[in-house]
Amino acid sequence: MASQPKNKVKVLGLELGEIKEEEIENIAVKIEEVVRKYIDEKSFGLLEGDVLVKIEKDQNRLSIVIDVGVRGRGVGIDVEKLVRDSINVGRKEFEALIKKYVREPV
């Protein structure tokens, strides 16, 4: 059982300070881990999450794409809802992690 990816844009409007590529990669890895864990917990280990997190930096702006698909036999599990919810969990984690790089207004 596979799911179709959904695209949704949310603009946070945060002014970012200095953030290194390594830090961006670490944030992406943490988001992947959180999303996979969420899928595993909510599907009782019956589904496996295919998670791809891509974060791009353009000057003081970051764009994130969280692509989630699941596979396995999750009888009685609303897979589309699980995918949507897991993406939302990933977005919330991104927002929490990125806040330490927000530049304070001068």
Given 3-state DSSP classes, what are the helix, strand and coil percentages for the chain, each rounded to the nearest 5? 40, 25, 35
| Tokens linked to 77 | 């599990």
Question: What's residue 1's pLDDT?
Answer: 41
Residue 10 lies in a domain: no
- Provide the token pair at 71: 């596979």
Q: Match 């930096």 to its residue by tokens.
A: 57
Range of the domain at 34: 21-101
Kindly state whether residue 51 falls inside one of the protein's structural domains: yes
Q: How many CB atoms lie within 10 A of CB 86?
A: 24
CATH of the domain at 74: 3.30.300.100
pLDDT at 3: 46
User: Is residue 13, in this structure, part of any structural domain at all?
Assistant: no
pLDDT above 90 for 49: yes
Q: Quick check: is 8 in a domain?
A: no
Predicted local confidence at residue 105, as pLDDT:
58
